[in-house]
Amino acid sequence: MKDRRGNVPFLSRRRLVSVSAAGALAASAVPFSGARAQAWPAKQIRVIAPYPPGGGIDTVSRAFSEKVSARLGQTMVVDNQPGAGATIGAAALARSAPDGYTMMVGSLVDYSIAPFFHQNLSFDMAKDFVPVLEIGNGTVAVLVTPSLPVKNVQELIALAKKEPGKLSYASSGFGGLIHLNYEMLKQMTGAEMTHVPYKGTSFFQADLYEGRVQVSIDNVLAHLPHIASGKVRCLAVTSKTRSPLLPEVPTMAEAGVPGFESATNYTLFVPRGTPADVVAKLNAAGNEAIKDADFRERMLKLGIVPLGGSTQVEAQAKMVSEMKRWGDVIQKGNIKPS
């Protein structure tokens, strides 16, 4: 059934396009007519930012859109739709026509975690989104108060196992990435600490630096100047490779915990059903934008390591692996909304 413009209605389209997380690839996109796809982009493009203006997602969205716009020859406008843990913006993307004129810069991690902590979501990342490419990752690190008598991750794990629950672990809230970083470490190593949730990083920084809580596994951006001054000690980064922000700090694999990987994430998504050739063109333009020296410098100043160079298939595989990683952590830890 088609509407007056000849398009398949949204609900019908979703019935036609049912894709599993493990098997969904760009080839599953439903093509529009050749003439329509070839004309893309013929008008302004909307980029949903599912967080308020001024934050990391918003800043990345604007910087990335500026560089991609120049390569596509079409205006890209950022549309902030914050709220409900980034799920309002994601729901808006899922409702959008899959014609290449609406996209979103969001987080694979956010939408891997969301189904476990938000009831009655109107979207499913695996079924409703196509990840086009990863833009970058924020650097996450194991941080300890300077007075804690440990020099590396193995000593921290040994201390936490020797006196279970004595060490306290600060997070930015129950069910968020910082909390789940601790849960993953506990499950992988047996390091038992007492979780202390705060309203955000800025609320626990002073407590961490002064020793009222002893540990956190957090994005380093807010902590970088304090790492340099010695107010907080950085034991390891949780990326696969060392971070250019902290090149002297080992990875978790180098620190003796292989497989422990975590990062704040910035990924470009389009609605499922977006024509495959449009996705390919957007992937190519996005990868070129990420190579831009000015863009890379701006990202590094935000504590974000630019990625780029990935195909859409690789972005899809990353989405599947992140959904499994965080779903397993939540289910194994029996973590439920408080």
CATH number for the domain that contains residue 76: 3.40.190.150
> CA-to-CA distance for 194 and 34, rounded, in angstroms?
58
Residue 128 domain flag: yes
Return the pLDDT at 55: 86
What does the pLDDT read at residue 308?
86
Domain ends where: 202, 237, 272?
237
pLDDT at 101: 98
Within a domain: residue 17?
no
pLDDT at 38: 55
Q: Quick one: 128 and 159 in the same domain?
A: no
Q: pLDDT > 70: what percent of the chain?
A: 88
- By residue range, what is the domain housing residue 205? 140-237
- Please tell me which residue, 252 or 32, carries the higher pLDDT value: 252
Residue in the block written with tokens 């060392």: 242
Q: How confident is the model at residue 278 (pLDDT cuts 50, 70, 90)?
A: very high
Number of helices (H), then strands (E), in the chain: 13, 11
In a domain, 5, yes or no: no
In degrees rounded to 5, what are phi and psi of residue 128?
-105, -15
Q: What is the CATH number of the domain that holds 151?
A: 3.40.190.10
**pLDDT above 80 for 14:** no
Task: Tell me, rounded to whole angstroms, the distance of Cα 261 from its chain centroid.
Answer: 13
CA atoms within 13 A on the CB side of 160: 24
- In tens, the pLDDT along 51-92 reads 999 888 999 999 999 999 999 999 999 999 999 989 999 999
| Residue 216 within a domain | yes
pLDDT one-digit tens code per residue, 279-294: 999 999 999 999 999 9
Can you tell me the distance from the alpha carbon of 51 to that of 293, in angstroms, rounded to the nearest whole number? 26
Query: Is residue 280 situated within a structural domain?
Result: yes
- Could you tell me if residue 225 is inside a domain? yes
Mean pLDDT of the chain: 90
pLDDT of residue 153: 98
> Is residue 247 included in any domain, yes or no?
no
Are 198 and 275 part of one and the same domain?
no
Residue 110 inside a domain? The answer is yes
Same domain membership, residue 312 and residue 213 = no
Q: Does residue 301 share a domain with residue 162?
A: no
pLDDT exceeds 70 at position 23: no
